[in-house]
Structure 1
Amino acid sequence: MSVADDSFADDSAVASPEEAGKRQAVLYEVRDSGVAVLTFNRPERMNAWGGALASGFYAHIEAAEADPAVRVIVITGTGRAFCAGADMGGLNTISAVTVESANKTDVSALVAEKHPYFLTQLSKPVIAAINGSVAGMGLSQALMADIRFAAAGAKFTTSFARRGLIAEYGISWILPRLVGWGVAADLLLSGRTFFAEEAAQLGLVKEVVPPQDLLDRTLAYAEEMAANCAPSSLAVMKRQLYADADMAIVETSNKAEKLMHDSMQRPDFIEGITAFFEKRSPNFPPLSV
């Protein structure tokens, strides 16, 4: 539950309490392309995790998962941060946190309904468009997305070691799988800040994009996936990716053989093959939920 990193703070993002109170914590849009866009919308708090932002995020994610019209989910943020960590009472009060007050913190309430790994359990691909600074809990959430794009110059940090905390909520599981053991040890144990460009070199993000082009590029990628990939295939392959991570190769291969047989019984397979030979875009049915 790494606290929001005040080293990322930007005074230009500060809004009055009245303005902030009127703003939806998470924006939600379902586009005609089949892509749902969730936007963290507390820029005055660096989109710090907790409260209305966390509950709004879960509610919209569940809506996207249940909506047959949604095929791909994109997550991004407003302002200069994607999510700069857990909200422990506001950036201006973090320095006043004491051992006594920290011991009274309800961690489960701060994290809210689910741990970040629940993104890996969804049937639909999740793509993070990391628009700015991402730290602690925000990084845990971003790494549990299936694919990540990042704005050039965006700052990344695990930050836990520098807050007297530990590798939280599955980040010690996902990070070595994304970047390897040695790099994961470096990023977790040093808690150092690094930038989007290094994140791409390490394999944490797919592409680094100029900030003004980030959402357009991410949406283009997501919409191409939504238009051309069978929702049933995406759902099964996503389960395979995460479930097979700790399985032996023989067991994984045997399981895949059965899954392949099952996929060939679905109408998606016929449509995919027919579209290929007819040189047209496939018209896959929505995922049955």
Structure 2
Amino acid sequence: MSYQHILYEVSDRIATITLNRPDRMNAWTATMERDVRQAMDAAANDDDVRVIVLTGAGRGFCAGADMEALQGIDPNEVRRGESIPFDMNRRADWQTRYAYYPAIKKPIIAMLNGATAGIGLVHALYCDLRFAADTAVFTTAFARRGLIAEHGISWMLPRIVGHANALDLLMSARRVSAAEALRIGLVNRLSTPDKLREETYAYARDLADFVSPSAIAVIKRQVYDVPFQTLAEATIDANREMQIALKGNDFREGVASFVEKRPPRFTGT
């Protein structure tokens, strides 16, 4: 498959999706939206992929929407995706225009190498983990452009940084340093720019090599389902999944590899 505004590669069971408009700080376009969706689907359906890394080329991750495209946007266009046919086997909340990352059964790591703003921040929040350069800067941006909290960020951001911090970041649209982002939980860890790739991929390879894909898929779904469940529902769901896991090949391999003191050979079944 050919892409125009991204790069896509698979190595060591890790798929890397790179936003590739470095001359425009990877400003978001309709073409990039299509490319990222197709690449995410490709990685999700590739049995040779166990982890997905989303990053940006050049100095930034994504500086937000392309301003030239934004100036000519049709107000009705923003509602595109509301009426897509839902897969009844997946929660509808994770099937809207941008909020589909949580429905992917594989871990998605945002490797934030620089400026992360607006729609770029939205995509970073929908990733499961965020590893950032200690020089990166973050902003919601919307309020300073006369816009509201877009594409579900008003739901997602408070669940990551808390209610008060979310209101601060959304209403002020101020620039947030990497150090503050780590302190409030916006990112999981920081690295120096020259170590970011090495440390991110070391973590990704650890997931790919030593963690059960079937366990990750269920754990990811459990965590994203929790906001819609009571404690009793979450517990009953966990008990049901535990019964299935105990009959699976990955459970038997996990125990055997531990007892035999060798690396596991998980198959995801």
TM-score by length of 1: 0.83
2:54 to 72, 75, 85: 75
Match of 2:61, SS state, is strand
Q: CA deviation at 1:103?
A: 4.7
The one-letter amino acid of 2:238's match is A
Q: CA deviation at 1:220?
A: 0.6
Match in the other structure for 2:45 = 66
The answer on whether the counterparts of 1:136 and 1:159 sit within 8 Å (CA) in structure 2 is yes
The one-letter amino acid of 2:257's match is A
Once residues 30 and 194 of structure 2 are traced to their aligned partners in structure 1, the CA distance between those partners, rounded to angstroms, is 29
More contact order relative to length (CA 8 Å, sep ≥ 6): 1
The answer on whether the counterparts of 1:139 and 1:157 sit within 8 Å (CA) in structure 2 is yes
Q: Superposed, which structure 2 residues align to 1:1-289 within 5 Å?
A: 24-31=4-11, 33-89=12-68, 97=71, 101-103=72-74, 106-107=77-78, 115-286=97-268
Once residues 42 and 54 of structure 1 are traced to their aligned partners in structure 2, the CA distance between those partners, rounded to angstroms, is 13
Q: CA deviation at 1:108?
A: 5.2
Relative to structure 1, the CA distance from residue 62 to residue 102 in structure 2 (aligned partners, 3 Å threshold; closer, same or farther) is: closer
Percent identity reads 45
Once residues 43 and 275 of structure 1 are traced to their aligned partners in structure 2, the CA distance between those partners, rounded to angstroms, is 44
Q: Unpaired segments of 5 or more residues in structure 2?
A: 85-95
Match of 1:225, SS state, is helix
The answer on whether the counterparts of 1:69 and 1:286 sit within 8 Å (CA) in structure 2 is no
Match of 2:226, SS state, is helix
TM-score by length of 2: 0.89
Once residues 159 and 17 of structure 2 are traced to their aligned partners in structure 1, the CA distance between those partners, rounded to angstroms, is 26
Query: Deviations for 1:199-254, whole angstroms, at most 9, x for unmatched residues?
Result: 11111111111111111111110010110111111111111011112311111111
The answer on whether the counterparts of 2:250 and 2:268 sit within 8 Å (CA) in structure 1 is no
Once residues 268 and 197 of structure 2 are traced to their aligned partners in structure 1, the CA distance between those partners, rounded to angstroms, is 24
Query: Deviations for 1:157-188, whole angstroms, at most 9, x for unmatched residues?
Result: 00111111111111111111111111111111
Query: Deviations for 1:75-123, whole angstroms, at most 9, x for unmatched residues?
Result: 1111121011112426xxx7xx4xxx45567335799x95221001101
Q: Please provide the CA RMSD for this pair.
A: 2.0
The answer on whether the counterparts of 1:71 and 1:286 sit within 8 Å (CA) in structure 2 is no
Match of 2:68, SS state, is coil
The answer on whether the counterparts of 2:139 and 2:169 sit within 8 Å (CA) in structure 1 is yes
The one-letter amino acid of 1:43's match is P
Once residues 122 and 215 of structure 1 are traced to their aligned partners in structure 2, the CA distance between those partners, rounded to angstroms, is 23
The one-letter amino acid of 1:252's match is A
The answer on whether the counterparts of 2:25 and 2:58 sit within 8 Å (CA) in structure 1 is yes
Match of 1:89, SS state, is helix
Once residues 266 and 167 of structure 2 are traced to their aligned partners in structure 1, the CA distance between those partners, rounded to angstroms, is 42
Once residues 268 and 248 of structure 2 are traced to their aligned partners in structure 1, the CA distance between those partners, rounded to angstroms, is 12
Relative to structure 1, the CA distance from residue 86 to residue 105 in structure 2 (aligned partners, 3 Å threshold; closer, same or farther) is: farther
Q: Unpaired segments of 5 or more residues in structure 1?
A: 1-22
